[in-house]
Amino acid sequence: MPARKVSPNEQAFLEKVMQRSSIPDIYDARDITIVVLRSLRDLMSTDLADRTESDFTDEKIALLWKDDNPIVAALSKLRPPLKIDTETFLRRIRQEGGVPKNVSPESAVIAVFSAVREELSPERNKEIASFLPDGLKVMWEQI
């Protein structure tokens, strides 16, 4: 199956992720971004996840935020936010994200977080930072 085309705004967003983490391929950057965003959403209440989605001004970038699996998306609306620590979050990125060997999960997370922060309002950035465990909060606030 051919890979889905990347829109110009989505490409610019993913290129930031690539440059900030040394991910060599735009499609790897997209896959890792999706896993980081899914993991971040899992830490949030449904209300905050919905507010964050509506805060994205570009539709294609907002699609990266939204879970494309309808069953997972429905279940995530029913369950409470997950309580996981930074190490568990990073392990999930390492295992599910397909992070290249020369890229650390930490640098991938920081790259995605910083690109996302640029897309969201200051209020939303502050709201997201307020619920993150300490290690992820430090990564979220790095630029």
Between CA 16 and CA 85 the distance in angstroms is: 26
- Domain of residue 90 covers 8-141
Give the Cα separation of 15 and 137 in Å (integer).
23
Residue 34 lies in a domain: yes
Question: Tell me, what CATH number does 26's domain have?
Answer: 1.10.490.110
The model's pTM is 0.91
Structural domain contains residue 60: yes
| Residues 6 or more apart in contact with residue 83 via CB below 8 angstroms | none
Tens of pLDDT, residues 88-143: 999 999 999 889 989 999 999 999 999 999 999 999 999 999 999 999 999 999 86
- Tally of domains within the chain: 1
